[in-house]
Structure 1
Amino acid sequence: MKLFVGIDVSSEKLDTCYLTDEMVVLLNHTYGNDTQGAWELKEQILSFHETYSFDQIVIGMESTSMYSYHPAVNFHQDEQLQAIHAITTIENPHRIKQYMKMFDADKTDPIDAFMIADYLRIQRYTNSPIKGEKYMALQRLTRTRYQIVRQLVEVKQHFIENLSYKCNTLKKELREAEGSTTVFSAAIMDLFTQDLSLDDLANLPLKDLAEWLQSKGRGRFKDPEGLAKTIQRAVRSSYRLDQVVSESIDMILGILVREIRSLEKAVKDCDQGIEDLVQTVPEYQCLTSIPGVGPVYAAGLLAEIGQIERFPDQTSLAKYAGLTWPKHQSGRHEAENTPLTKKGNRYFRYYLIEAANSVSRHLPEYQAFYRKKYQETPKHQHKRALVLTARKFVRLVDTLLRNHQLYTPPRSVIEK
């Protein structure tokens, strides 16, 4: 006889169903989502095992981020549960949701616990170890960095929008000027958050403006006088705002510049934390040996993969990232249009695609593959080629991590 323990996890409680492989519900019970509740749940499992001597015990729950992490790790590491070879698994919520749809049942926590147990009973669960502590610590850092970068992108978009109100031709002039800079350089942001009107900037002596820019840019501008001319040209050709509107825009720009700098510092702090922690992960060298894969991309990939033994092969790894195209076939008809599933780990997919984009600029093999896929269709060329390149990149990542080896270029490249 086998026992399947389905747990519906929430922030405060663990609704639990104890189901045998003969579809007998031994108990439905609710425990607190804390150490006491987890201990009571474990003791109940041990009590049932002492009575029935189960051949197998599977403890399963949906992946609910921070809520499921603690109970899953607690059961996975418990010595008494390990002694009876109990399996702890965290399942994809989408799969269980699709399974529940077949029965048209009500949506309550006890019913959810039963459906999770029944899903485990049909042996569709993933029998893979839970990530080690180093990978989870790394994941907290890489995901936080991902969120901060998204916030930074959004704030920069707001900055450009409001800067366009103040000087609507600046972005265009900087883009077209040879050897110029961007609106996000420290000098440009400081210049347009000063207590100076556009007329003040337009009338400022060119030499003084060039010297100010070179001072703020710490001598990095090759042609500060040319940059000063570009800025004054943009200032003179831009519309003027009423004083009330101008004051509000100046205040907003100042706030956004402070936020941009704060977020940029946060990204640097995350990068430093990632770099310090990733050195302790042995597989790190395997991924950074690939040209184009730096510390951040390597850390992001390792944080989401964990131990490569969690996945039986590279196909499972690709499915975990959502880089699969399900076939649609019926009779003699097979659909030509097979959209990307995207039902996977979005963080893992993000780091795979970003890393593949970087690798395609460094490795001739991936560059040729990208170009070939780019030319195959007239629509969404870049996105399609990049995603397909990422799918190819999965195979390389899987091979290096599974064999614990460094990247070596193909023989044809070495001969050249």
Structure 2
Amino acid sequence: MFYAGIDIAKHRHELCLVDETGKPVLQIFIENTHKGFEKLLQAINGLEVAPDGVRFCMEATGHYWLALYCHLKELDYKVSVINPIQSDALRNLYIRKIKTDEKDALLLAEMLRLGLAPEANLASETVMKLQTLSRIRIEFVHQIGALKNRVLGILDRIFPEYPKCFSNVFIRTSKELLKRYCEPEEIAELDISELTGFLKQHSRGRLGAERAEQIQALAKGTFGINLALDAFTLELRLMVEQVEFIEDQIAVIEEAINQVMEEMRPSPDTPYRHVLETIPGIGPVLAAAIIGEVGDISRFPNAKALVAYAGIDATVRSSGQFEGTRNRMSKRGSPVLRNSLWLAAVSARRFNPERKAFYELKCSQGKHSSVATGAVARRLVHLIYSLWKENRPFDPNYTWSPTNPNG
């Protein structure tokens, strides 16, 4: 048996092959191309060994490992993919701090030879679709948040009273007003009947003369600056248009997510597409994100393993007679999964009576709201694991009975 460690990079990878004793027998670099892959195969064929006689190990470095992984799996090679955190931990065992591509490749081969790198398998195509769509959606949501903060920053300069005009600066009527009349002076000089008509049109009749008079009065008495006003108003209009553009893109992504989730419906007569959607606090978008990050639930032996994978488990500090009491959330797992579970917990503590009672109990014990929400998230993971593993929908009369009350 031979063990090959591959240090992944963007343009070329470093490969180190060792035998069962750990002795290096081959060390080459391969380009991240078809030509480089052929070079790898020729080197392996020179050893005159079958595909089951060679195992590969590589780090999940960005997305650069994916192509090589897929091509190796197509030829029935066993491939292990590890988190860089794992290899860093082993590298730190050595006294001398040496980090080169050759050393890293040898380290990966040794991890494989010692049985520290289990074989990896890619998720199904459906799961990969959900993962890709959910991640880009989250990225776009974060972009919108940043753009909205810039819009509010501009308004603080030129029209600080504007947020008082609407319940939310970013409702449809408000955005249309900011795109059409960027300067407070324009609103102040506008005929009140024209402003009233504009508001009625874009609010579908919900806003009228009273709101128009309020907005105009605030515009006339604004404490905003006039310095570089044309530049600020241009930026304001462009930022609002950018928010709307990304919101439209998010709607397209969510429609694509719904189509993929529809593929997972057990049968046409089933009212839900996945058991996760039956849990209060988890809708199609959050369900898709969780499924995309978890993949196959059967790869987790228990709910605690899923909690750890999400990074919502507590860190443990203990030495001798010392026991740490201020333990924090580890945050060592999937950030997308952790964020999705957190949002689901926030929703569950409002709409699920059992979760709400548990959250209020934690708060009554002096726990901070964030700590109590984290506890709700961990309990929610236990429920998710149970329902998903058994493929049964949520039952409102379900009673959670943990083996560990603090789990």
Q: Fold-level match, TM-score > 0.5?
A: yes
The residue type equivalent to 2:155 in the other structure is L
Separation of aligned partners in 1, 2:296 and 2:219: 56
Match of 1:188 among 170, 174, 190: 174
In the superposition, relative to structure 1, how do residues 346 and 197 fare at CA in structure 2: closer, same or farther (>3 Å)? closer
- Judge which range, 156-165 or 64-73, deviates more: 64-73
Matched, 1:166 2:158: yes
Separation of aligned partners in 1, 2:289 and 2:51: 44
Match of 2:249 among 266, 284, 296: 266
The offset of 1:44, in angstroms, is 4.3
Match of 1:252 among 230, 235, 258: 235
Match of 2:116 among 119, 124, 127: 124
SS in structure 2 opposite 1:360?
A: helix
RMSD: 2.5
Separation of aligned partners in 2, 1:297 and 1:202: 44
The residue type equivalent to 2:55 in the other structure is V
Instruction: Identify the residue that residue 63 of structure 1 maps to in structure 2.
Output: 60
> Is the Cα contact below 8 Å between 1:128 and 1:309 reproduced in 2?
no
The residue type equivalent to 2:133 in the other structure is L
Instruction: Identify the residue that residue 97 of structure 1 maps to in structure 2.
Output: 88
Matched, 1:301 2:301: no
> What stretches of structure 1 of length at least 5 have no aligned partner?
175-179
Instruction: Identify the residue that residue 31 of structure 1 maps to in structure 2.
Output: 30
Q: Which residues in structure 2 correspond to 1:205-284 (within 5 Å)?
A: 206-219=192-205, 221=206, 223-242=207-226, 244-281=227-264, 284=273
SS in structure 2 opposite 1:161?
A: helix
Separation of aligned partners in 2, 1:53 and 1:169: 71
The offset of 1:251, in angstroms, is 0.9
Matched, 1:345 2:334: yes
> Is the Cα contact below 8 Å between 2:276 and 2:384 reproduced in 1?
yes
In the superposition, relative to structure 1, how do residues 369 and 75 fare at CA in structure 2: closer, same or farther (>3 Å)? farther
The offset of 1:195, in angstroms, is 4.6
Matched, 1:140 2:140: no
Match of 1:398 among 375, 381, 385: 385
Separation of aligned partners in 2, 1:324 and 1:49: 47
> Is the Cα contact below 8 Å between 1:128 and 1:311 reproduced in 2?
no
In the superposition, relative to structure 1, how do residues 290 and 196 fare at CA in structure 2: closer, same or farther (>3 Å)? closer
The offset of 1:317, in angstroms, is 1.7
1:363-408 deviation per Cα after TM superposition (whole angstroms, max 9, x unaligned): 1111112222233336xx2222222221221112222222222111
The offset of 1:43, in angstroms, is 5.3
> Is the Cα contact below 8 Å between 1:128 and 1:310 reproduced in 2?
no
What TM-score does the superposition give when structure 1 sets the normalisation length?
0.86
> Is the Cα contact below 8 Å between 2:261 and 2:274 reproduced in 1?
no
In the superposition, relative to structure 1, how do residues 195 and 9 fare at CA in structure 2: closer, same or farther (>3 Å)? same
> Is the Cα contact below 8 Å between 1:293 and 1:355 reproduced in 2?
yes
The offset of 1:102, in angstroms, is 1.4
In the superposition, relative to structure 1, how do residues 4 and 52 fare at CA in structure 2: closer, same or farther (>3 Å)? same
1:242-293 deviation per Cα after TM superposition (whole angstroms, max 9, x unaligned): 2x52222211111111111111111111111111122223585111111221
> What stretches of structure 2 of length at least 5 have no aligned partner?
267-272, 401-407
Count of matched residue pairs? 393
Match of 1:331 among 280, 303, 320: 320
In the superposition, relative to structure 1, how do residues 15 and 372 fare at CA in structure 2: closer, same or farther (>3 Å)? same
1:301-337 deviation per Cα after TM superposition (whole angstroms, max 9, x unaligned): 1111111233232222222211122321122221111
Separation of aligned partners in 2, 1:311 and 1:343: 16
- Judge which range, 8-17 or 193-202, deviates more: 193-202
The offset of 1:48, in angstroms, is 4.0
Separation of aligned partners in 2, 1:400 and 1:333: 38
Instruction: Identify the residue that residue 7 of structure 1 maps to in structure 2.
Output: 6
The residue type equivalent to 1:402 in the other structure is K
Separation of aligned partners in 1, 2:45 and 2:348: 51
In the superposition, relative to structure 1, how do residues 42 and 367 fare at CA in structure 2: closer, same or farther (>3 Å)? farther
Instruction: Identify the residue that residue 177 of structure 1 maps to in structure 2.
Output: none
> Is the Cα contact below 8 Å between 2:178 and 2:240 reproduced in 1?
no
In the superposition, relative to structure 1, how do residues 240 and 50 fare at CA in structure 2: closer, same or farther (>3 Å)? closer
- Judge which range, 205-214 or 4-13, deviates more: 205-214
In the superposition, relative to structure 1, how do residues 412 and 92 fare at CA in structure 2: closer, same or farther (>3 Å)? closer
SS in structure 2 opposite 1:159?
A: helix
> Is the Cα contact below 8 Å between 2:81 and 2:119 reproduced in 1?
no
In the superposition, relative to structure 1, how do residues 13 and 238 fare at CA in structure 2: closer, same or farther (>3 Å)? same
Instruction: Identify the residue that residue 187 of structure 2 maps to in structure 1.
Output: 201
Separation of aligned partners in 2, 1:202 and 1:405: 60
